[in-house]
Amino acid sequence: MRKLIAGNWKMNGLSADLGAIEAIASAVAGHSGVDTALCLPATLVGPAATRLPGYAIGGQDCHMAVSGAHTGCVSAAMLADAGAKLTIVGHSERRAAQGESDADVRGKASAARAAGLNAIVCVGETEAERDAGQAESVVLGQLQGSLPDDANGSWLSVAYEPVWAIGTGRIPSIDDVTAMHDAIRNALVARFGEGGAAIRILYGGSMNGDNAAVLLTVANVDGGLIGGASLSAEKFLPIVEAAAAA
């Protein structure tokens, strides 16, 4: 399976950063065996997609409705209209701060699909849930609730992101990554059959140029969702190179 390395810029980036976005796209262009994408703040999707028409620019969220009275929200159709090719849905920062439920995330993923966007659906346990021995049941529960019935690898990826690993510099043990990705794969195949076998399972949480080679050679780690290390070509490129070599 081709690996996908997707950057999540979170609430970072102004128009002055469009040059850095172009530099990242141009730095990774030589690695044709790896899919890459940059999920940007909504304000930068249009300008970046205009400058980089062939590159996979994405959003970081979308509303489940096509349009309507949802002040401040952005629909999947709006992202697509601005030139996005994909969007993240269900990031733990949104689940926590905006109270997004699994049903919300499922609706958002379906809205992305309806607008012609690919979706990266995020799941992951908190540290307290892991300490209580509930990591797998929490993640598999989120997975069941957040994925639409028509999920398959042609348009959807799953990102396993332990909440406690995001932005902390900490990552799970390789045994724990292996066990969780195997459990997610088994659940995807049980629900979606061959379609589930083709869904990419990304790892996310403090992936960087130092740990990417090890993480990306774990079975069923089909790429990465990268926060902090996606903000510059200097940090993003080594992860893409590790994916190309894995």
Q: Which of 93, 100, 161, 241 is catalytic?
A: 161
Q: With respect to ligand PEP, which residue has the nearer C-beta, 107 or 205? A: 205
Among 204, 216, 237, 243, binds ligand PEP (CB under 6 A): 204
| Residue 8 binds to ligand PEP (criterion: CB under 6 A) | yes
User: Can 161 be counted among the known catalytic residues?
Assistant: yes
SS3 sequence of the chain: CCCEEEEECCCCCCHHHHHHHHHHHHHHCCCCCCEEEEECCHHHHHHHHHHCCCCCEEECCCECCCCCCCCCCCEHHHHHHHCCCEEEECCHHHHHHCCCCHHHHHHHHHHHHHCCCEEEEEECCCHHHHHCCCHHHHHHHHHHHHCCCCCCCCCEEEEECCHHHCCCCCCCCHHHHHHHHHHHHHHHHHHHCHHHHCCEEEEECCCCCCCHHHHCCCCCCCEEEECHHHCCHHHHHHHHHHHHHC
- Footprint (CB under 6 A) of ligand PEP, residues 163-192: 166-167
| Residue 196 binds to ligand PEP (criterion: CB under 6 A) | no
Among 86, 205, 216, 242, binds ligand PEP (CB under 6 A): 205
| Residue 206 binds to ligand PEP (criterion: CB under 6 A) | yes
| Residue 129 binds to ligand PEP (criterion: CB under 6 A) | no
Q: With respect to ligand PEP, which residue has the nearer C-beta, 195 or 209? A: 209
| Residue 226 binds to ligand PEP (criterion: CB under 6 A) | yes
- Footprint (CB under 6 A) of ligand PEP, residues 66-95: none
User: Can 70 be counted among the known catalytic residues?
Assistant: no
Q: Which of 63, 91, 181, 241 is catalytic?
A: 91
| Residue 118 binds to ligand PEP (criterion: CB under 6 A) | no
- As annotated, the active-site residues are 91, 161
